[in-house]
Copies of this chain bind each other. A is one copy, B any other.
Amino acid sequence: MTHPLFHPDAEEISLPAIFTALGDETRLNIIAILARNGERAMTCGQFTELGSKTALSYHVAKLREAGVINVRPDGTKRFLTLRRADLDNRFPGFLDSVIASASTIPLPENQSPAGPAETPGETEWT
């Protein structure tokens, strides 16, 4: 990595940018799954059912550039987390209402709402 991945500062996160980022089915699903997974970070590889490797890379970048998620490289993987604190601070109540609303929408595959991990040792923390 020549320079670290760009993330907008908390105060630079704009509402239209968030809406644009969330206005895509794939990206909204990524957010919903991340939210269901609690505070645990997830890798891009855990979203393969949502699209191709290339498409996911594209969508994850969009979410990152909009300030919705944080992407932390670690080895060959990237760990994704919601920027909860930053979003709550800038737009109080917004993320919660989005997650609550998005949760009424069925996910494309068998995404269990944060039960015990099927493959122990795979979960990571921020």
Contacts and interface: CB of A to CB of B under 8 A. Distances in A.
Contacts of A23: 16, 19-23
Interface string A19-39: 111111100100000000000
Q: Give how many copies assemble into the complex.
A: 2
Nearest to A26: B16
Interface residues of A, number: 24
A119 interface: no
A93 B102 contact: no
Contact of A100 (B25, B93, B100): B93
Interface of A: 14-16, 19-25, 28, 90-94, 96-98, 100-102, 104-105
Given A90-B101, A91-B97, 11 more contacts: A15-B28, A15-B102, A16-B25, A16-B28, A19-B19, A20-B23, A91-B100, A93-B93, A94-B97, A96-B97, A97-B97
